A and B are shown apart, each in its own frame.
Chain A
């Protein structure tokens, strides 16, 4: 594949590239890469440490232990409070005023002054409201991780590698609803180191990560004939095995049978974690032989002798290199970046690149960027809400320093709560899934614009964010807006900004 002439150069291609492969333009971005947009996107893959976050945050095991300790302390504290309450109730048996009743919340927290009438003005609030109490540790961990991730997306020049991180993280998703302590560390440990590496390494890292083992219930699974299975009369949980094949590798049409799932689940028995309550290695991966189903297993027609943890590694390695996996990944990548119904020629090229390079994800990403099909001017993808939010911040240059809570709130309102997909197949990325949420985006855009637009020149922002992509209708609509805030809201809601 070679770069094709006109479409891949100039400001229009630059703007296209920033929206399609990156997180949208910041001030000056379009001009900065207009000389060679394709080369600039490719260069993003070559940055040292690309995909990694330079942050000092706890590992998944450290976070899991910290949250375990926090919860244990909370439980103890509640128990003490309960004891104290029982003592107090014994003292005042006639108390009928419960501070915890919602309607009574205000009087309890802040008793009115004696002369305060119901319709009197509230006491003044200073420009800086009182600092709310710090969130509890589990939430704080997620906030820190979310901020690091968001900063990486808003701060990068183009954002192609970050977009790849988000893609793979969603492909191999877990959920904070099930394992809040580990969602952030998981992405840093299992996804980021491999986004430009080999797919097989990412699969190995993901499926052996304690967060995934817990999320897809493998820590519950044991071989029926294993020592633990026999003594506890328990057996297989095939969740991880099934989703690894169906979602992570060969895909639902990858040619496996229920027998393959069962066999693979047997292979994966014993892949577990050390209980996070253990002070030293709690929360780390462990292979527990006493949970492991003894014996050879046949998966997709191949015999895997029982070599302990290596048995699972071997199956994963083969699944990661399977031609069906190449097609599955190629299709998903093309669908995510280029079109809901991607051109078959592009999917084929990506699959070929995947196979030819032994799943070298940097090479596959290069193939995506160099393919002519990836530069069609028609912009038919509707950005997922989270990417659209990042683009708004980049466009306006607003620093999200203290805004991470607001960003997370907006993402949640738009139905794409960070690291909280409703099911292991992750969030969808097709228009059909998100189009009905467009009116809600307008609410978010309106609030965002109201906060930031007062000092902004909307027409300059059109040049920053869309450049030649802006249709005359869009320019005109923004120019005629009734206020700066309305203009900025209309800009971020324009088809050119919503789509990639």
Chain B
């Protein structure tokens, strides 16, 4: 097959490359994993970089202070675009019907008012800590997911011997870097510069360089008219369809790899664009488009996992939340607590887990952010423990160092 490939004169498609490499590196030398317990678990972490607005994703529609807090921007069950009811208190952003269906089928869990131990508001530091699993901002070259894999006991549900972590993207996300070998795959399409990046650049140019502002702005207008999702569209300004396609391809491909009988069992990817300071567009605009893209990505994971979906847990995490109130530009600024979204057939789903802190001014963290009442590490430790059979001590010392007093959340996995 190698020889044939070398002789073919057309540019190889990715499928060919994959097929060709598969024959070369058939992984036959890897130990066959015995699944004594009858479950062959898959774990996928999706890092949402930029700080997802948890209150706009899963709205506390039953909180009496909700409408007053967000006004016209508050999602409601009877709004113009009604939110999707999860239970008597919470409702999901209307852009996520597929996640809603998973929730209804007991395949999704929302953890609300949740945060990492990080309490400042720098994206860079917050993302580092979210991914490296340390209790305080510090530089580390490994992430909690990789260390979790490396620390699994041989012969268990996932055997760390010969097992690889999987990563999507030209750069392996920190969360999955570390001692365990990483298998990486990069989509042919690069992640397009987000509308958010274009907007930031446009703001900068408008203040400093009119000529450049016009160059970017003209292009934005063109793209808005087109918005076809055509991959050949004007560069620089990805349409929503382009973002959708990227999200779905990145997550869907990860699922294809994880679904393989002898493929990797843990994987990670990062999706950008959640830093919604201006014109957030919760129900119909930018955030709704991003959440819709994320919804498609989750659906792609489910579809591509196939029968392995029943053994799957996907966790979507972000570095921190956003301000509880809307700011002066119809957006939200850097906040603290937010949601963690869990999906997968292995979960005991259909539940919103929250020690709800309330939304009155006094209830808010520093009178501005949703107050964190659940440590994200508890959620992750609970998943790693019950799904992958990670050891308590390893979790407390190696995976999330210094997290001895953060108990793994029990009962997430069916």
Which residues on A are within 8 Å of B, measured CB to CB?
100, 102, 105-106, 108-110, 112, 119-127, 129-130, 132-133, 413, 431, 435-436, 438-443, 445-447, 450-454, 458, 471, 473-474, 477, 480-487, 489-490, 493-495, 498-499
The 0/1 profile, CB within 8 Å of A marked 1, for residues 35-55 of chain B is 000000000000001110000
**B127/A124 in contact, CB under 8 A:** no
**B208/A474 in contact, CB under 8 A:** yes
How far apart are B326's CB and chain A's nearest CB, in angstroms?
A: 18
A-B contact list, 29 entries, CB within 8 Å: A102-B10, A106-B13, A110-B1, A119-B304, A121-B260, A122-B18, A124-B21, A124-B183, A124-B260, A125-B21, A126-B25, A126-B183, A130-B21, A435-B212, A439-B198, A442-B197, A442-B201, A443-B193, A446-B197, A447-B190, A451-B171, A452-B171, A473-B208, A482-B123, A482-B275, A483-B127, A486-B196, A490-B204, A498-B212
| Other-chain contact of B171, A100, A413, A441, A454 (Cβ < 8 Å) | A454
**A130/B234 in contact, CB under 8 A:** no
Bound Cα distance A314, B27 (Å): 71
**B27/A124 in contact, CB under 8 A:** yes
3 nearest interchain CB pairs?
A: A123-B22, A439-B236, A482-B275
Bound Cα distance A443, B191 (Å): 9
Residues of chain A with a CB closer than 8 A to B259's CB: 121
Residues of chain A with a CB closer than 8 A to B127's CB: 483-484
**A473/B171 in contact, CB under 8 A:** no
Q: Is B200 an interface residue (CB 8 A)?
A: yes
**B191/A105 in contact, CB under 8 A:** no
Residues of chain B with a CB closer than 8 A to A124's CB: 18, 21-22, 25, 27, 183, 257, 260, 263-264
Residues of chain B with a CB closer than 8 A to A108's CB: 4, 8
How far apart are A373's CB and chain B's nearest CB, in angstroms?
A: 21
**B5/A436 in contact, CB under 8 A:** no
Given A124-B22, A442-B201, A450-B190, A105 and B10 touching (CB < 8 A)?
yes
**B171/A105 in contact, CB under 8 A:** no
Residues of chain B with a CB closer than 8 A to A119's CB: 304, 306
The 0/1 profile, CB within 8 Å of A marked 1, for residues 209-251 of chain B is 1011001100100000000000000111100000000000000
Q: Is B356 an interface residue (CB 8 A)?
A: no
Bound Cα distance A295, B411 (Å): 100
Residues of chain A with a CB closer than 8 A to B50's CB: 482-483, 486
Which DSSP category, helix, strand, loop or mixed, fits chain A's interface?
helix
Q: Is B33 an interface residue (CB 8 A)?
A: no
Q: Is B89 an interface residue (CB 8 A)?
A: no
| Other-chain contact of B4, A109, A438, A483 (Cβ < 8 Å) | A109
| Other-chain contact of A125, B4, B17, B174, B193 (Cβ < 8 Å) | B17
Residues of chain B with a CB closer than 8 A to A112's CB: 19
Bound Cα distance A442, B236 (Å): 5
Residues of chain A with a CB closer than 8 A to B19's CB: 106, 109-110, 112, 122-123
Q: Is B73 an interface residue (CB 8 A)?
A: no
**B124/A106 in contact, CB under 8 A:** no
Bound Cα distance A451, B182 (Å): 16
Residues of chain B with a CB closer than 8 A to A413's CB: 235
Given A482-B196, A486-B272, A458 and B124 touching (CB < 8 A)?
yes
Given A109-B8, A122-B256, A436-B215, A130 and B274 touching (CB < 8 A)?
no
Given A121-B256, A126-B183, A483-B127, A489 and B304 touching (CB < 8 A)?
no
Bound Cα distance A284, B141 (Å): 55
How far apart are A336's CB and chain B's nearest CB, in angstroms?
A: 19
Given A445-B193, A482-B50, A495-B209, A439 and B237 touching (CB < 8 A)?
yes
**A443/B192 in contact, CB under 8 A:** yes
**B204/A474 in contact, CB under 8 A:** yes
Residues of chain B with a CB closer than 8 A to A442's CB: 193, 197-198, 201, 216, 235-236
Candidate in A106, A112, A119 with the most chain B CB atoms within 10 angstroms: A106
**A495/B197 in contact, CB under 8 A:** no
Bound Cα distance A304, B170 (Å): 63
Q: Is B406 an interface residue (CB 8 A)?
A: no
14 more A-B residue pairs beyond the given contacts A123-B19, A126-B25, A450-B190, with a C-beta to C-beta distance below 8 A: A105-B13, A112-B19, A121-B257, A123-B22, A124-B18, A441-B236, A442-B198, A443-B235, A445-B193, A477-B201, A482-B50, A483-B124, A486-B50, A486-B272
**A490/B212 in contact, CB under 8 A:** no
Closest residue to B277 on the A side, CB-wise? Answer: A480
Given A121-B260, A125-B21, A482-B275, A490 and B201 touching (CB < 8 A)?
yes
**B197/A473 in contact, CB under 8 A:** no
Residues of chain B with a CB closer than 8 A to A450's CB: 169-171, 190-191
**A439/B184 in contact, CB under 8 A:** no
**A443/B236 in contact, CB under 8 A:** yes
| Other-chain contact of A495, B6, B192, B200, B208 (Cβ < 8 Å) | B208
Candidate in A441, A442, A494 with the most chain B CB atoms within 10 angstroms: A442
Residues of chain B with a CB closer than 8 A to A458's CB: 124
Bound Cα distance A477, B207 (Å): 11
Bound Cα distance A494, B208 (Å): 9
**A126/B21 in contact, CB under 8 A:** yes
Q: Is B203 an interface residue (CB 8 A)?
A: yes
Residues of chain B with a CB closer than 8 A to A441's CB: 236
Bound Cα distance A495, B212 (Å): 8
Given A439-B235, A473-B204, A123 and B10 touching (CB < 8 A)?
no
Residues of chain A with a CB closer than 8 A to B253's CB: 122
Residues of chain B with a CB closer than 8 A to A431's CB: 211
Bound Cα distance A121, B10 (Å): 23
Residues of chain B with a CB closer than 8 A to A454's CB: 171, 174
Given A106-B15, A121-B263, A125-B21, A477 and B203 touching (CB < 8 A)?
yes
Candidate in A483, A485, A489, A494 with the most chain B CB atoms within 10 angstroms: A483
Residues of chain A with a CB closer than 8 A to B209's CB: 495, 499
How far apart are B137's CB and chain A's nearest CB, in angstroms?
A: 13
Residues of chain B with a CB closer than 8 A to A129's CB: 17, 21
The 0/1 profile, CB within 8 Å of A marked 1, for residues 249-278 of chain B is 000010111011001100000001111000
